[in-house]
Chains A and B, each alone.
Chain A
Amino acid sequence: GESVGLHLPTLSVQEGDNSIINCAYSNSASDYFIWYKQESGKGPQFIIDIRSNMDKRQGQRVTVLLNKTVKHLSLQIAATQPGDSAVYFCAEPPRNTPLVFGKGTRLSVIA
């Protein structure tokens, strides 16, 4: 079964606002997580990753937070832009087994 899941299937935000997309995982031994973005008609694209020895990791306009106590991940997008409209997946790439995707959260940016 799925080891990762998402709290909300859709999220609508105003352009310029911050977006927060959440994800829960079930395997407390998981030590590596990736966020992917999938735009319409395209393949998943790596955004950012985080290892379990970190609580927070920042990229360009994106931040991933990891709460190992409650087994929760979040992806924060600052100053959301129309180009951020996509489906976002958290994924847990376990060693030597296939990548598991959840259904994703569809982010819609309202101009």
Chain B
Amino acid sequence: EPEVTQTPSHQVTQMGQEVILRCVPISNHLYFYWYRQILGQKVEFLVSFYNNEISEKSEIFDDQFSVERPDGSNFTLKIRSTKLEDSAMYFCASNPDSYNEQFFGPGTRLTVL
């Protein structure tokens, strides 16, 4: 069964460093998303992406964040200068159209020291 994959599973970085979180969505899906979940809190939407551009973003997704689909398979989230409060699980999701269920990846645990 096709699934969303994410790498790395755990990323540790120093405050102020740049990180890139990678996702490979399901191959025939057209809509891509990033969410984050701070430990013990709810899953929060960051950004949605369709047709090679951002379709919606939350207030969390400020200028420190960017997304890219550099090729036909990868979908990346970049945080330019990490802060302690960026420590969270980051989930990528995709779906074939925006009306149906989203398929989530296993997540990347980001720890900012």
Contacts and interface: CB of A to CB of B under 8 A. Distances in A.
A29 B68 CA distance: 34
A96 interface: yes
Contact of A89 (B43, B98, B100): B43
B104 A45 contact: yes
Interface string B33-44: 101000001111
Nearest to B107: A43
Interface string A15-54: 0000000000000000010101010011111100100000
A44 B99 contact: no
Interface stretch (A56-64, A69-77, A78-86, A98-106): A98-106
Interface residues of B, number: 25
Interface in B73-113: 91, 93, 98-107, 109
B45 interface: yes
Given A98-B45, A99-B45, A49 B101 contact: yes
Interface string B52-85: 0001101000000000000000000000000000
Given A96-B55, A98-B48, 19 more contacts: A34-B101, A41-B107, A42-B107, A43-B104, A43-B106, A43-B107, A44-B43, A46-B103, A89-B43, A93-B99, A95-B98, A98-B56, A98-B58, A99-B102, A100-B45, A101-B43, A102-B42, A103-B41, A103-B42
